[in-house]
Amino acid sequence: MQIRPRKLIGIPVKTRAGQLLGKLADVLVETNTGRVEFLLVRTGMAIPGLSRDELRIAWSQVISLSEKEAIVADATIPVGSRMLAMNIVPPTLEAPTP
């Protein structure tokens, strides 16, 4: 299927688990190969550990893309982010003390 990039601008970008990351701002293409390399996502919200309101998500992390939404892997770590592993990995469960 083919989609014109201008139809993608503004679609929601979510993780597979349903967490909204933001809206698609642009699609970055490598000029030498013509391949999509990144989705540029404008968050418009505070995401712990990130210093900017834009995420660059590698194409390899994209699960699906349509004119309605983009779905990316749950464990997506935006390129250039300073997100800590503790924000991505769920905390371990500790046994209650008697």
Residue 17 maps to which CATH number? Answer: 2.30.30.240
Instruction: Give the pLDDT confidence score for residue 6 in this predicted structure.
Output: 85
Instruction: Give the pLDDT confidence score for residue 1 in this predicted structure.
Output: 74
- Domain count for the chain, please give it: 1
Q: What is the mean pLDDT of residues 69-74?
A: 92
Instruction: Give the pLDDT confidence score for residue 32 in this predicted structure.
Output: 93
In a domain, 13, yes or no: yes
In a domain, 57, yes or no: yes
Instruction: Give the pLDDT confidence score for residue 39 in this predicted structure.
Output: 93
Spatial contact of 79 and 39, defined as CB atoms under 8 Å apart: no
Instruction: Give the pLDDT confidence score for residue 4 in this predicted structure.
Output: 82
* Residue range of the domain that includes 27: 5-76
Write the pLDDT tens digit of every residue in 3-58: 887 889 999 999 999 989 899 999 999 999 989 899 999 887 555 555 457 888 99
